[in-house]
Amino acid sequence: MPELSRRRALTTAAALAAAATATGTAAAHSTHAAPSDSPNSPGAPGSFDEVYKGRRIQGRPAAGGGHHGGGHHGGGYAVFVDGVELHVMRNADGSWISVVSHYAPVPSPRAAARAAVDELQGARLLPFPTN
């Protein structure tokens, strides 16, 4: 019986992971359309402006392509808490995360703003340096 080498075990694990990812992606595409990063697309979130737990949260499609010299991580969407930008990012599965609640994906930018307010517990959101 041939001995199982580390290389062969890693190759097998990588192949299994790729197959599982492909199967999951195919299933996701068959049930609904993939989210678009374009703020003008039908699946794009709309604007919001509300007071949540005494904090003003706002969100809107961002014009001009965002920061970091090109694409905006938020898929062309800007979120603010009390006028300070909350950096958000749209994940490949359509969920959203923010720099405040990075490990807790939520379904929308509004939910990301609310989660940030909850996490801040009354503290001010400080500007996040992008350079």
Q: Which one has a higher pLDDT value, 10 or 60? A: 60
Domains of the chain: which residue ranges? 1-32, 48-120
CB contact at 8 A, 78 and 113: no
Q: What is the pLDDT of residues 70-121, one digit of tens each?
A: 444 556 899 999 999 999 999 999 999 999 988 899 999 999 999 999 999 9
Residue-wise DSSP of 48-76 = EEEEETTEEEEEEEPSS--STTS--TTSS
In CATH, which of 3.40.1410.10, 3.30.1880.10, 1.10.10.60, 3.30.465.10 is domain 48-120? 3.30.1880.10
Q: What average pLDDT does the segment 46-74 reach?
A: 76
Is the Cβ–Cβ distance between 108 and 96 less than 8 Å?
Answer: yes
**Exposed (0-12), middle (13-18) or buried (19+): which is 46, by Cβ within 10 Å?**
exposed
Which residue in 37, 42, 21 sits closest to 89, CA to CA?
A: 37
